[in-house]
Amino acid sequence: MNRFRKFLRRLERNTEGAILTEIALSIPLYMVMLMGIVEVGNFLLLHLKLQHTVVSVSDLITRDEEISEEVITDIFQAVPQIMAPFPTGEDSVAIVTAISQAEDVPSSIFWQRSGGGSLVKVSEFGGEGEAIDLPAGLSLRDDETILATEIYYSYEPLIFSVFEGYTIRKTSFFRPRIGSLQEIQEDAG
């Protein structure tokens, strides 16, 4: 038993390699922290890109007095460029909904278009022709329109792929600058 105690005392006094042991124990913790910082940074950048995209699409559609299918298609084609470096395609879709009312028609969806990706999602506002309860804080007068733009993005974690992905939704509301945009004009051609 004496030998064993001597060995333990000698081991206690020996400090050679102590720093290596501490580093070896702390490196995994630092690596997980670094990966977490990268993941959170990517997630925050994605949220900023989505918000910028939904506002840009709304802004572009509400600039003119009239809108056509061709112009809407062109605007949706800009979504991948705005979203770069994040992939769109199967991961995203933008939906533009014109909510309006007329003298004899209560608040309803006058038209709705989607594009900018092929993710299959349905607007939370409803479908074209359906009556709608306006979100809190929004009101409409006769012949006035609110364009509600939604973007959905199917998010998959970069590093921590053990966690399940989910769909992110961002929304913006714009009123047309000129006119009411209650209908989409025929293409000129």
Burial 6-40 (b: 16+ CB within 10 A, else e): eeeeeeeeeeeeeeeeeeeeeeeeeeeeeeeeeee
Q: How many CA atoms lie within 13 A of 149 on its CB side?
A: 26
pLDDT mean for each 10 residues of the chain (189 residues): 80 72 87 92 94 95 89 93 92 93 82 92 90 81 88 89 86 87 73
pTM score: 0.81
pLDDT for res 188: 59
